[in-house]
């Protein structure tokens, strides 16, 4: 009878009431609205045990973690600090490499207060070698791209929550149609996010 978000809240409440010493969470903010995410963040900040969390929610990571294991195709690296600290380290290394090469580093916009779920520069395949699927977003500003990312993430979370609807999972055609919608929106989100990352790198 519960939605995906409600089920997640019940599971988390049950875990915390059991007072464990270790929590292992896999994408805990999925299906949660912003007020629920904020409550979760506060609960985890007060948790006295150890938390191991896998998440793509970068704002959530900033609020909760103090050590980050970053996994890339070329290997893994451990950073002490939250996600913003990790990004600062990446930017410093990039600036140092640029200076060592005798180039003038492009000044970056001051970070200031980060809005919720702001997309930061992420590691991935070399944009110069990757096919440009993002050309159609070239006319948009970085703020417009960021708004598109957030909008599509919200839509994707709403679609994923429908997998728990009995009217959907009991109807094979409806389930396949929903999966196609999720796949299409996931691909679009990846393109918009890649466009945002390209624009952030260029600043």
How confident is the model over 61-71, as a mean pLDDT? 88
**Cα radius of gyration rounded to whole Å, the chain:** 19
Nearest-angstrom CA–CA distance, 25 and 22 = 10
- Does the residue 104 lie in any domain? no
Structure confidence by residue, pLDDT tens digits, 124-160: 444 444 456 678 888 888 888 888 888 888 888 888 7
Give the per-residue pLDDT at 131.
53
Among 56, 79, 96, the domain-final residue is 96
Checking if the pLDDT of 53 tops 90, the result is: yes
Q: Kindly indicate the confidence band of residue 51, based on its pLDDT and cuts at 50, 70 and 90.
A: very high
Structure confidence by residue, pLDDT tens digits, 81-120: 888 888 787 778 777 777 777 655 544 443 334 444 333 3
- Does the residue 111 lie in any domain? no
Q: Kindly indicate the confidence band of residue 190, based on its pLDDT and cuts at 50, 70 and 90.
A: confident
Q: Count CB atoms within 10 A of the CB of residue 13.
A: 13
Nearest-angstrom CA–CA distance, 125 and 73 = 9
The 8-class DSSP code of residue 138 comes to T
Residue 32 belongs to domain spanning: 4-96
Q: Are residues 32 and 81 in the same domain?
A: yes
Nearest-angstrom CA–CA distance, 70 and 177 = 34
The helix or strand, by DSSP H or E, that contains position 24, with its residue range, turns out to be: strand 22-26
- Does the residue 26 lie in any domain? yes
Residue 45 tokens, joined: 């900040």
Nearest-angstrom CA–CA distance, 98 and 165 = 52
Overall number of domains in the chain: 2
């Amino acid at each position: 009878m519960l939605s995906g978000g409600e089920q997640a809240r019940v599971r988390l409440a049950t875990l915390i009431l059991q007072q464990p010493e270790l929590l292992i969470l896999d994408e805990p903010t999925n299906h949660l609205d912003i007020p629920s995410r904020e409550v979760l963040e506060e609960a985890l900040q007060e948790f006295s045990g150890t938390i191991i969390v896998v998440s793509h929610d970068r704002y959530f990571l900033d609020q909760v973690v103090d050590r980050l294991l970053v996994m890339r195709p070329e290997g893994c690296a451990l950073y002490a600090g939250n996600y913003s600290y990790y990004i600062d380290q990446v930017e410093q290394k990039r600036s140092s490499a640029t200076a060592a090469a005798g180039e003038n580093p492009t000044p970056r916009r001051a970070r200031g207060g980060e809005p919720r779920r702001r997309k930061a520069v992420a590691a991935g395949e070399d944009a110069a070698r990757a096919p440009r699927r993002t050309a159609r977003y070239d006319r948009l500003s970085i703020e417009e791209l960021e708004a598109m990312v957030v909008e599509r993430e919200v839509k994707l979370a709403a679609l994923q929550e429908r997998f728990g609807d009995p009217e959907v999972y009991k109807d094979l055609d409806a389930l396949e149609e929903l999966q196609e919608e999720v796949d299409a929106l996931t691909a679009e989100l990846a393109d918009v996010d890649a466009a945002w990352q390209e624009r952030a790198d260029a600043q």
